[in-house]
Amino acid sequence: MARARHTAGRLLALVVVINFVTFLVVGHWLGGSAWNGKVEAGKFFLADHGRYTEVTEGVYWYSWWHTMIASIGLLLGMPVAFLLGFGREQHHQKESDQAALPK
């Protein structure tokens, strides 16, 4: 059970990191994110550091949802991944290191 939890934690962390990196790369390529953007006179804009880029409605909503998912992934996914896998691994590593010490 502990091994499955550890594997799940590492897999979750990997998915969160890949999703966040994808969010950064795609956001840069598109010209920003919808969270910083605006809808004005039926036109959709992404924004990055005060620069606006007009996009289609579909791209705008893709950006909005990807930003939401990436943010939730970082805020909730990483702590859960740590609790499931990474903290436990360190504990087991310390135990095995101590067991290997000469008495």
Count: domains in the chain = 1
Confidence of residue 88 (pLDDT cuts 50, 70, 90): low
pTM higher than 0.75, yes or no?
A: no
Q: Give the residues across from 48 on adjacent strands.
A: 51
Show the DSSP H helices in 31-86 as ranges: 57-72, 78-81
Structure tokens at 82: 């740590």
Residues 9-53: pLDDT tens digits?
A: 788 888 888 999 999 999 999 999 999 999 999 999 999 999 999
For residue 60, give its domain range: 2-100
Residue 86 has pLDDT above 70, yes or no: no
